[in-house]
Chain A
């Protein structure tokens, strides 16, 4: 398919969704974290609100229930475990071409 059709379709999709996103952003209170936005909106309905779309000063933070609940170690542990398992399996499969019959997959 011609490139302009592909990228034209992608651009139209993105433009439509970004417009919907901006409406949703303002209609649900503006610059609020998702959990607060969700609770507030579902209790009080849509309310106009402002604030910047991007707030780099806030940085990237771990979700509140984990951060405030003192479970950062558990979070890190699960991520490390899943990552090690996935990478280990990937390397094993890539190197040896798959699991053999003596090691059923499930």
Chain B
């Protein structure tokens, strides 16, 4: 799904600085909110599992639409929430860049893209549930919408930044990037369906994990210290 695969030096320096600063600001705000508001311990466990699943599937090319990889960021957002979902996006991108999948200089931009997927998916899911939708259509729609938001943001980042070495004028570049975004929308359907099935299954066996029932435990939000 949406992920900028350009190599180091593809973006001009000002763009690298801009996206890195915005990404840092987003992560800083999230860390502040996590420290201030606290998080439930079961969410931390879910975040660990979500990070593992997202990282693993991030690196697997599946032979559909020419060869794409999924992110599971929509699922991560629905399960772990927008705050931890964004932190997972950061962690997955750092590990991926360390292995050569995605440029280190684009960590800020890629974190923004993937965090937006988790955030939009979470709020879309909650909104649709609030409108009395069933779990499957709500989660599949929410994940698809979240992933499409990430795809559009990816396109905006590339067009605004421009690509070093590309002879395309900005107008042609915009059309070219629109093609990439369009392809991502198709992939979002596949990932949205997969997310819908997973969340539907979780809702049937552990509804507490997706906030559909109270947890049968004594835990309270623990807050985050130090």
Contacts and interface: CB of A to CB of B under 8 A. Distances in A.
A85 B3 CA distance: 25
**From DSSP, what is the main secondary structure of chain A's interface residues?**
helix
**Residue from A25, A66, A88 with most neighbouring chain B CB atoms (10 Å):** A25
A39 B4 CA distance: 10
**From DSSP, what is the main secondary structure of chain B's interface residues?**
helix
Contacts of A90: 42, 45-46, 48-49
**Residue from A35, A63, A104 with most neighbouring chain B CB atoms (10 Å):** A63
B121 interface: no
Contacts of A99: 41, 44, 222
Interface string B186-226: 11110011000000000000000000000001111011111
Contacts of B49: 83, 86-87, 90
Interface in A36-74: 37-39, 41-46, 51, 53-66, 69, 71, 74
A38 B4 CA distance: 8
A89 to B, nearest CB: 4
B62 interface: yes
A14 to B, nearest CB: 5
B99 A71 contact: yes
A83 B49 CA distance: 6
Contacts of B220: 98
Contact of B179 (A24, A51, A71): A24
A42 B55 CA distance: 26
**Residue from B45, B132, B168, B217 with most neighbouring chain A CB atoms (10 Å):** B45
Contacts of B140: 10
Interface of B: 4-6, 34-35, 39-42, 44-52, 55-56, 58-69, 95, 99-101, 131-134, 137-138, 140-141, 144-145, 148, 158, 163, 165-168, 172-173, 175-189, 192-193, 217-220, 222-226
B25 to A, nearest CB: 20
A14 B137 CA distance: 11
Contact of A41 (B48, B148, B176, B224): B176
Contacts of A9: 137, 141
**Residue from B44, B58, B134, B140 with most neighbouring chain A CB atoms (10 Å):** B44
A95 to B, nearest CB: 10
Contacts of A89: 44-45, 48
B224 A69 contact: no
Nearest to B141: A10
B41 A28 contact: no
Given A24-B186, A46-B176, A90-B42, 15 more contacts: A6-B134, A13-B145, A14-B193, A27-B182, A28-B179, A30-B66, A38-B5, A41-B180, A56-B63, A63-B58, A69-B100, A79-B55, A86-B47, A99-B44, A106-B35
